[in-house]
Amino acid sequence: MIFKRAFGYIAPILHENPLGLPQRNVKGAPQIPRRGGPIVKRRIPNVKKVVAVASGKGGVGKSTIAVNLAFAIALHPTRPRVGILDLDIFGPSIPKLMGLENVEEPWLTSNGAIVPPTNHSLPCMSMGFLLPSSPSSPSSSNEDTPVVWRGLMVQKAVQQLLFDVDWRGEEAGAGLDLLVIDMPPGTGDVPLTLGQLVVVDGAVIVSTPQSLSLSDVRKGIAMFRKVDVPITGIVLNQSHYICPSCSSPHYLFGPPDRFIEVAEQLGVRVLGQLPLVPEVSMKSDAGVPYMLAGKVEGDEWRNTMNGVASSVLDAIKLS
């Protein structure tokens, strides 16, 4: 049994319950450990494996890669059940990328868990689905609605998104084989909360060729290692461009030499180098992941992403 609840009109919103969920009669989320206390990590309910897609800085195409990685894995010959969780509280991108910008507020199960919306046959959850419409928006959209929260509210919201979403799907009890988590940029409250509370099976780090981006990659990898999250590898986005009239790669943002050097220094695997393809951005704006756009044969971007997906599956040993 499922029912509706208007998150946007719950008042007051408490620090312990920022999403305004009803009291549940099940075991709650684990608590964030105090300074010096033991870290006890748990699995997300109804999820076998978790892979985080992260970056040290914003604007590198991390969310686009996270969504397309999820679909590349879902389309793998083994056909695992995959879901997407957007943990970017302040700047959620998944509603746009999944074509769910104007979706109605999610339903709740009878015990108060959120039922994730589904599009393109993949369930996904995001803070963007829970925001009220902006009064100043001419289309009654929540696109301009800001989340103005301090750290404690963010931590609690992340806990609820991790442990109060029902990933069982239409087949009761089936759950997900893999949950791909789209992380916010940086090394703040959200990645630390995830790393302290959840058993994360791998992290894919996204970068662009610029030295500034690579500098932040180092910080991101160091942060994940500090909370014992294994680094599956790194992906170079916007590596090169191949113009229609020639077959030579053009390194618009610099050659990948420095990227490869940093990967070797950090002891992490290079999972793939994705070219700059304008259609990836166009499809993303239309809410259609590029992995679903036509045939893969001869498409370097999608072939590379399929290789990244296979490497991730091998690394996390999904059975």
Structural domain contains residue 4: no
Structural domain contains residue 15: no
Structural domain contains residue 2: no
- Each residue's pLDDT expressed in tens, for the chain with a length of 319 residues: 555 554 554 444 556 788 878 766 556 566 666 665 666 899 999 999 999 999 877 788 899 999 999 999 999 999 999 999 999 988 899 999 999 988 888 999 888 899 999 999 999 999 989 887 665 555 556 666 677 677 788 888 899 999 999 999 765 568 999 999 999 988 788 888 999 999 999 999 999 988 888 888 899 899 999 989 999 999 999 998 888 777 778 888 888 898 999 999 999 999 999 999 989 999 999 999 999 987 766 689 999 999 999 999 999 998 6
Q: For residue 153, what is the domain's CATH number?
A: 3.40.50.300
Q: What is the DSSP letter of 207?
A: E
Residue span of the structural domain in which 53 resides: 47-130+147-316
Structural domain contains residue 25: no
Structural domain contains residue 163: yes
For residue 84, what are the β-bridge partners? 124, 180
Structural domain contains residue 152: yes
Structural domain contains residue 31: no
Question: pTM to 2 decimals?
Answer: 0.89
Count of structural domains within the chain: 1
In b/e form, how buried is each residue of 128-154, taking b as 16+ CB within 10 angstroms? bbbbeeeeeeeeeebeebebebeeebb
The phi and psi torsions of 260 (rounded to 5 degrees) equal: -65, -40
